Amino acid sequence: MQPDREVLKQFKSLRDLSEQQLEMLAQHAEMRSVRKGTLLIKCGSQDDFSLFLVEGTLKLTAADGRVSLISSGHPSALVPISQLLPRKYDVVCATRVTYITIDQQVMARVLASKQAPVASGSYLVSGDEEIEESEFEHQLVQQCLSDLENDKLVLPSLPDVAIRIGRALRDEVTDAHQIAEIIQTDPVIAAKLIKAANSALYAGRSPVETCTAAVVRLGSDVTHNLVIAYAVGELFKSPSAILQKMMHELWAHSVKVGAICYVLAKHDPRFRQDQAMLIGLLHDIGVVAVLNYAQKFPEVASDRQTIKYASQRLRAQIGSLILRKWGFPPDFIITALEAEDWLRDSGPEADYCDLVVIAQLHSFMGTDKALSTPGLDEIPARNKLSLGELTPEMSLYILEESKEQIAHAESLFALSG
């Protein structure tokens, strides 16, 4: 049966939705009651739904045997259960349970349609005072939102080579030679992939000289993520000198955050390092679309203040739509939406967005931006990552460990032009 909208409103991530949005979710949701002992989620699975607990108690068992209980009404039951993919827990009904499932793509689409708040974070603010909205800035944002609402906003497309590699892997193509043949249709990316395979991050005893050998050394998952990163890097370009400078600043910020995510993931086995780096690289992809949109307005293209304001207002909403259009998993979409929400608390289980939040705050250390963002001791995400006590000393250790990784990443992902 479909849940009532009032039932959906009790959950933290859904309570601010409009009645129309709640109705859309209700139409794509299913509410069921099942008996004690029913398995709802299998550890390691890649289910494409979000599960909400309405009534009863769930038993969550991690791969290492750790057990926790979540009961309806508890704060941890106000968010989706075991959301991280692949699933990190067996979720079994400890009592008779009533629960709701909602398709994750529908969830992402509805959440992305919410008006994005003005974000206080990222490279664009750089410690500035809060930006006040001028009439012209307001008009720019409203025009962009109107084009978005009427499907007139042109979103960037994922480059062809990344699409073809993703399709091949979904079709379970594992032959390194076949994968390399696809990559070699883009000689620039093929050359970068060979360089990556020979870098300090991935190098073996002897250098590789062919794209096929690079794919063998890297493995299909790392190859796929690197191809996406290289392909997306080509989107960070603009004919305007001012906008191109902002593109370079944005990419530098994204590379630094991605590199720190890679290091953080090393300390928490729940996360894949290559996936963490890619999510860090793409968390601000919405700004690319805003900068491209600004080219339509000559009076805007030379006004950094207006562009900053528009980027703050629109980055989350547009970024999530781009990643959904590209067919990326929910972790990417949620991170685009919430990576600037420093005080987000999605429940007891850490997700990739928590990783990006912590990575960004580390990237600000030693800069003016650190003065305008909360301290790590105020961030809910810090207590959910397996980093031990995140003291100033631990943060310095993470930054020191990240230096080499950041240098490697800057070399691997340097923009041309």
- Are 108 and 24 found together in one domain? yes
| 215 and 293 within one domain | no
Which pLDDT belongs to residue 114? 54
Residues 300 and 200 reside in one and the same domain: no
244 and 365 share one domain:
yes
My answer on whether 99 and 18 are in the same domain is yes
Same domain for 146 and 171? no
Does any domain span residue 122? no
Q: Domain range holding 179? A: 161-220
What pLDDT score does 272 carry? 92
Q: Report yes or no: 279 and 319 within 8 Å, Cβ to Cβ.
A: no
Q: Is the predicted pLDDT of residue 134 greater than 60, yes or no?
A: no
pLDDT digits (tens, 9 = 90+) for 90-103: 999 999 999 999 98
Task: Please write the tens of the pLDDT for every residue from 323-369.
Answer: 988 888 889 999 999 999 898 888 888 899 999 999 999 888 888 88
For residues 402 and 271, membership in a common domain is answered with: yes
Per-residue model confidence (pLDDT) at position 248: 92
Q: How far apart are CA 299 and CA 305, in angstroms?
A: 12
353 and 376, same structural domain? yes
Q: Is residue 170 part of a domain?
A: yes
- Beta pairing, strands 89-93 & 49-55: unpaired
Model confidence at 118, pLDDT cuts 50, 70, 90, reads very low
Instruction: Examine the domain organization and report whether 277 and 244 are in the same domain.
Output: yes
- What is the number of domains present in the chain? 3
Give domain status of residue 127, yes or no: no
Give the confidence band of 296 by pLDDT, cuts at 50, 70, 90: confident
Q: Are 260 and 400 in a shared domain?
A: yes
Among 25-29, 137-141, 331-335, 336-340, which is the least confidently predicted range?
Answer: 137-141
> Do both 342 and 271 map to the same domain?
yes
- Answer whether residue 213 shows pLDDT above 50: yes
pLDDT tens digits for range 153-196: 777 888 888 999 888 888 888 789 999 999 999 998 999 999 99
Q: Are residues 49 and 23 in the same domain?
A: yes
Which CATH number covers residue 359? Answer: 1.10.3210.10
Residue 195 lies in a domain: yes
Q: What is the pTM of this model?
A: 0.67
Domain membership of residue 212 (yes or no) is yes
